[in-house]
Amino acid sequence: MGMKGKYLVTIILLVSTLSVGMCSNRWIRAHATFYGVNDSPASLGGACGYDNPYHAGFGAHTAALSGALFKSGESCGGCYQVRCDYRADPKWCLRGAAVTVTATNFCPSNNNGGWCNLPRHHFDMSMPAFFRIARRGNEGIVPVFYRRVGCRRRGGVRFTMRGQGNFNMVILSNVGGSGAVKAVAVRGSRGKTWRQMTRNWGANWQSSGDLRGQRLSFRVNLLDRKTMTFLNVVPSSW
């Protein structure tokens, strides 16, 4: 955007992989389609702000969620186990098959009775994920069941910093546990007070304090009520 002093830096913090939290045994009815037949990985980041799901640590099994599930970005990074309803559609559903997908995008309403319109629960899945539960040759829609599950991540939590001067924005990705971030606070190395960040859009969190020249620490609250603290993870040279 032509901003003087604009920066972009990604910090990968190697921490133990989290795989629990936000699990539910209750299966909920929904529907699923697929997208991205000819898309490159870099084009599938979408409304959460992950410019590339592969670089973010999510791999190929991703999905865009309808508004009832996306909740203005609250579900970004969260994991869902999805299985096709074989009894309802034995022609196209694979019996007993399930896949875990990460929420990385938003499936908007089309104001014409679309499947992503409120209050419907819908998954517009990547093609690799969709064909883990449905037969090839199906280019339509299938009935599914889903439930929230914990995210299994490898390689550590990733912090991508963007902004300038007294406007700082961070994207958190590859987060284990619930995967979905509820709140973020930041603290500079010259201060003792945590500054609460606000969700700008999707998985982007912002603060307005001038923290240049300081090491940055983050306190992250997940939807499963787990709190993680990352001390001095961003060097002062950012």
Mean pLDDT of 175-201: 93
| pLDDT band per the 50, 70, 90 thresholds, residue 18 | very low
Which one has a higher pLDDT value, 165 or 52?
52
Mean pLDDT of 178-193: 94
**Whole-angstrom Cα Rg for the chain:** 19
Domains of the chain by residue range: 28-149, 158-234
Digit-coded pLDDT (tens) for 200-232: 999 999 998 888 889 999 999 999 889 999 999
Mean pLDDT of 119-125: 95
Mean pLDDT of 64-80: 94
**What tokens appear for 138 in the block?**
């199906």
| pLDDT band per the 50, 70, 90 thresholds, residue 165 | low
C-beta atoms surrounding 63 within 10 Å: 27
Mean pLDDT of 37-53: 66
Hey, which CATH number is domain 28-149, 2.40.40.10, 3.40.50.300, 3.90.1300.10, 2.60.40.420? Answer: 2.40.40.10
Which one has a higher pLDDT value, 18 or 129?
129
Which one has a higher pLDDT value, 123 or 157?
123
Q: Which fold has domain 158-234?
A: Immunoglobulin-like (2.60.40)
Query: Residue 192: which region, alpha, beta or left (left: phi > 0; alpha: psi -120 to 50)?
Result: alpha
pTM for this prediction: 0.86
Q: In what order do the strands lie in the sheet with 181-188?
A: 195-196, 181-188, 216-222, 227-234
pLDDT above 60 for 10: no
Mean pLDDT of 93-104: 95
Mean pLDDT of 77-90: 96
Residue 224: alpha-carbon gap to chain centroid: 15
Instruction: Round the average pLDDT of the chain to a whole number and report it.
Output: 85
